[in-house]
Amino acid sequence: MTTGLIRLLATTSAVLAVLVVATFLMVQLAPGDAAQRIGGIDATPEQLDQIRRDFRLDQPMAARFVAYVGGLMQGDLGISYATREPVARIIADRLGNTLWLAVTSVAIMAFVAVPLGLIVGGLTWGDRNRGLDIGFVAGTSIAASLPGLLVATLLAYVFAVWLRWLPVAGATQWTSVILPACAIALRPMSELARMIRVETLNVLSQDYVRTARAKRMTPVRLYTVHILPNVLTAALTLTGLVFAHLIGGAVVIENIFAWPGLGTALVQAVMNRDFPVIQGIVLMLGLVIILVNATVDAALIAIDPRVARK
């Protein structure tokens, strides 16, 4: 187990290093005149020269890379072209919201998808309940095929504007997160439920389930003690993968629910060609995802005794 964790740490650091180089190159290779972008519509040539000095745009790439890495060490992610705000602060202001939204979506997704996939898997095993099978596949397909844009708009319409149960937008109270989280979770939730069902069917056909059945336990015990833990390892791996998709899905949803997260900031930065902000956000999201994956891996090592050996 310890060697597994050490190996995990090593690969995670290697991947981080690649991420840092990649994000740096991304900004360096960006098209267009950075100084002009920073200066805006009314900038004079003198102002542009000043900006080039301020932002080190006049220095060679190697020097800039050293400065970039040096800055990263001190938590300095550069300065926004558009607002001249420190990128680190832009991210710090929004990262919490993004994570809160992502974690809530994961929770909603897991709490719906895992039991649903498990129950439907149990009920449709051995080609039983064909109607339920077809209904489940159709329902999850529809949910997985609806553009998030529409899902978000419909949820806002029904629960915020029509029923007035939840706030329309923003992150003003704890209930604010529910609608955007549901909107984001719907699609991965359908996919996860289908995968959990397949995995459940897979586990159900395992010999150890037959062994468990031979012990004549109640179905509740059979599913919770013998089947669920085996489905969960798969579910956990999948959730780690889906987490990234949740953060991605958030970009559109954040706009509709005016959720002050990194997605909104990223889209704004792309519109403004604000490369340091793009760079910082990509770096930060990459970091979050790497950490989530590493956590999932570590959890797997802890949960499933077989993983550690692989």
Partner 1 sequence: MKHNVLAGAVTAVGCILGIPAFAQGSVTTVLAADWDTLDPHLTKSTHGFQMALALYDRVVALDADGTIVPYLATSWEARPDGVTLQIGEGATCADGTPVDAAIVAASMARYADPATNAPYRGRTFGTGAATVTHDDAAQTVTIALETPNSDLMLSLAMPWSSVVCPAGLAAPEGMQAEPQGSGPFTLTESRRGDTYVMKRRDDRGWGPSLGELTGSPPETLTVRVSANTTTTANLFVTGEANVVSITGKDIERLAAEPSVDRQDITLFGSDGLMFAHMPGRVTNEPLVRRALSHAVDREGFNRAFAFGYGTVLDTLTTPSMQCYDASVGANTPGYDLARAEELLIEAGFARNSDGQWERDGAPLTIRVIGYGSQNAGPEFLMESWRQFGIDASLVMGEFGSWFETLQAMTDWDASIFPYNSSIPSPSLFVAQITGAPKPAGPNYQGEENPRYAEAARAALAAGPEDRCALWAAAEQILLDEADTLPLVARNVATFTRGVSVQMISGTVYEPNALRLAN
Partner 2 sequence: MMRHPALRAFFRAPSGWLAAGSLGILAAIALLAPVFLSDAATQGSIMRSGEGPSADYLLGTDNLGRSILARLLVATGLSLVLALAATALAAVLGITLGILVAMAPGRIRTLGLRAIDVTLSFPGILLAIVITAFVGVGPIGAVVAIGIAYVPDFARLSSTLAMSVTSKDFVAAARVLGVPAHRRLLRYILPNIGDSMTVAVFTTTAGALISVSSLSFLGLGVQPPLFDWGRMLAEGIVNFYVTPLAALAPAVMIALAGMALGFFGEALARAMNPLLWSIGDDARASKATGSGEATAAPLKADWKEGSVLSLRDLRVTYPAPGGARMAVVDGVSLDIEAGEIVGVVGESGSGKSQTALAIAQLLASPAEVRSTRHRFLGDDLGRLASEDRRRLLGTRLAMVFQDPMGSLNPTIRIGDQIAEPLRLFGGADREEALKTAVERLREVGIPAPEDRLSAYPHQFSGGMQQRAMIAMGLTNRPALLIADEPTTALDVTIQAQVIDLMRDLNREHSTAILLITHNIGVVASVAQRLIVMYAGRIVEDGPIAAVLGQPHHPYTRLLLAATPELDSDRDTPLGAIEGRPPSPADRPRGCAFAARCPHAILRCHDEDPALRRLGDSRHAACHLAGAPTLSESRV
Q: Which of 220, 271, 305, 310 binds partner 1 (CB under 8 A)?
A: 271
Q: Which of 170, 205, 206, 213 binds partner 1 (CB under 8 A)?
A: 170
With CB cut-offs between 5 and 8 Å by kind, which of partner 1, partner 2, none does residue 295 bind? none
E strands of the chain, at which residues? none
With CB cut-offs between 5 and 8 Å by kind, which of partner 2, partner 1, none does residue 145 bind? partner 2
Q: Is residue 164 part of the contact set for partner 2 (CB under 8 A)?
A: no
Q: Which of 3, 13, 59, 141 binds partner 2 (CB under 8 A)?
A: 141
What minimum distance in Å lies between the beta carbon of 174 and partner 1? 7
Q: Is residue 240 part of the contact set for partner 2 (CB under 8 A)?
A: yes
CA distances from 204 to 114, 193, 194, 210 (A): 15, 16, 15, 8
Q: Which of 264, 281, 300, 301 binds partner 1 (CB under 8 A)?
A: 264
**CA 3 to CA 8: how far, in whole Å?**
8
| Shorter beta-carbon distance to partner 1: residue 6 or 271 | 271
| HEC secondary structure over 170-186 | CCCCHHHHHHHHHHHHH
Say what the alpha-carbon torsion angle 298, 308, 1, 14 is, to the nearest 10 degrees: -60
Q: Which of 252, 277, 283, 300 binds partner 2 (CB under 8 A)?
A: 252
For the segment 40-59, give every residue that binds partner 2 (CB under 8 A). Answer: none
What minimum distance in Å lies between the beta carbon of 128 and partner 1? 16
Q: CB–CB of 304/233 below 8 Å?
A: yes
DSSP, residue by residue, 125-166: GGG--HHHHHHHHHHHHHHHHS-HHHHHHHHIIIIIIIS--S
Q: Which of 46, 127, 163, 164 binds partner 2 (CB under 8 A)?
A: 127
What minimum distance in Å lies between the beta carbon of 305 and partner 1? 33
**CA 86 to CA 89: how far, in whole Å?**
5
For residue 252, which of 162, 161, 186, 158 has the smallest C-alpha distance?
Answer: 186
Render the burial of 157-194: b for 16+ CB within 10 Å, e for the rest: eebbeeeeebbbbebeeeebbbbbbbbbbbbbbbbbbb
Q: Which of 128, 135, 170, 224 binds partner 2 (CB under 8 A)?
A: 128
With CB cut-offs between 5 and 8 Å by kind, which of partner 1, partner 2, none does residue 135 bind? partner 1
Binding mask 106-145 for partner 1 (x = CB under 8 A): --x--xx---x------------------xx-xxx-xx--
Which three-class secondary structure state does DSSP give residue 61?
helix
CA distances from 29 to 19, 56, 179 (A): 15, 15, 38
What minimum distance in Å lies between the beta carbon of 15 and partner 2? 5
Half-sphere exposure (Cβ direction) of 264: Cα atoms closer than 13 Å: 17
Residues that bind partner 1 (CB under 8 A): 32, 36, 40-42, 44-48, 50, 82-85, 89-90, 93-94, 97, 108, 111-112, 116, 135-136, 138-140, 142-143, 153, 155-156, 159-161, 164-175, 178-179, 182, 185-186, 189-190, 193, 255-258, 260-261, 264-265, 268, 270-273
